[in-house]
Amino acid sequence: MDNRPIGIFDSGVGGLTVVREVINFLPNENIIYFGDTLRCPYGSKDLNDVRKFVFEIIDFLLNEDVKSIVIACNTGTAAGLYEAQSKFKLPIIGVIEPGARGAVLSTRNKKVGVIGTVGTINSGAYQRVIKTLDAGIKVYSNACPEFVEFVERGETTGMKIKKIGEIYLQSLKEAGVDTLILGCTHYPLLSGLIQEIMGSSVKLISSAAETAKELKELIERKEIMREENSPPFYRFLSTGDIKLFLELGKKFLGKEITTVEKVSLSREGVKG
Ligand code: DGL
């Protein structure tokens, strides 16, 4: 039993797609969500810089006394999950392994596609994890940098994004993948469009849902479930624009967010 909150963080509001699933799978858990909106996006930044951000945020969340941490950002996971697991004592999971496992379990023709930010795709992280789980699977990947911008503008349908989507996904379609990993926090909001382009026979894997399943298993196996009967709390923290967080956050979380706390990382781990 452990009544402390779970810490979940992302470069911005995209990780709320993971929070949404965590609430589904673990409805009794307290959650502190940290969105580093001031420094978003991570996807186009040097992974060494992103790793530093990851460490800073984990330090911050440790000060908030969380019992476990989810790096709900594909780029953040690619840049710093293993290093963070080695550096900090509490359980830390990312979004790449759960998504990769889901795809390995799902594929029938052993051809898996991955889409994500430039940072995630260039890191080769999905490829490595998939190959560890099943060396026979062929992985086809493509960075889709403009998708994040479209989602942040709220443009998830229409001809413009469809045209760009067709270009991004063409090589994966031609390769004949039967499973496609949405390897970026923002892409679940484009799943309608992506499914339409790829065709109904292609299975889309959302890292968000797979990560929530893994977190549930971790919490249960380690016996660190929250056992209080009162309703859980959800706190939302942001380093950047609160108004934008509230507006976009609703889309990603699927429900209204009433309060966002503005925080600063200028002094390590100290709330500003
Ligand atoms: N959260 C990032 C990811 O999942 C996407 C947005 C960004 O580039 O920071 O990779």
76 Cα: distance to centroid of ligand 1 (angstroms): 8
What residue owns the CA closest to ligand 1's atom 6? Answer: 41
Q: What is the pLDDT of residues 16-37, one digit of tens each?
A: 999 999 999 999 999 999 999 9
| Same-domain status, 117 and 34 | no
Range of the domain at 225: 6-95+210-271
Q: What's the confidence (pLDDT) of residue 267? A: 47
Q: What's the confidence (pLDDT) of residue 271? A: 43
| Same-domain status, 60 and 129 | no
185 Cα: distance to centroid of ligand 1 (angstroms): 6
| Same-domain status, 182 and 246 | no
Pocket residues: Cβ below 6 A from ligand 1: 10-12, 14, 40-43, 73-75, 116-117, 120, 148, 184-186
What residue owns the CA closest to ligand 1's atom 7? Answer: 41
236 Cα: distance to centroid of ligand 1 (angstroms): 18
Residue-by-residue pLDDT tens, the chain, 272 positions: 999 999 999 999 999 999 999 999 999 999 999 999 999 999 999 999 999 999 999 999 999 999 999 999 999 999 999 999 999 999 999 999 999 999 999 999 999 999 999 999 999 999 999 999 999 999 999 999 999 999 988 899 999 999 999 999 999 999 999 999 999 999 999 999 999 999 999 999 998 999 999 999 999 999 999 999 999 999 999 999 999 899 999 989 999 999 999 999 864 444 43
| Same-domain status, 117 and 247 | no
| Same-domain status, 103 and 200 | yes
Residue 249 forms part of a structural domain: yes
Residue 142 forms part of a structural domain: yes
DSSP-derived secondary structure for the chain: ---SPEEEEESSSTTHHHHHHHHHH-TT--EEEEE-GGG---TTS-HHHHHHHHHHHHHHHHHTT-SEEEE--HHHHHHHHHHHHHH-SS-EE-SHHHHHHHHHHH-SSSEEEEEE-HHHHHHTHHHHHHHHH-TT-EEEEEE-HHHHHHHHTT--SSHHHHHHHHHHHHHHHHHT-SEEEEESTTGGGGHHHHHHHH-TTSEEEEHHHHHHHHHHHHHHHTT------SPP-EEEEESS-HHHHHHHHHHHHSS-----EE---SSTT---
| Same-domain status, 103 and 53 | no
Residue 1 forms part of a structural domain: no
Q: What is the pLDDT of residues 148-182, one digit of tens each?
A: 999 988 899 999 999 999 999 999 999 999 999 99
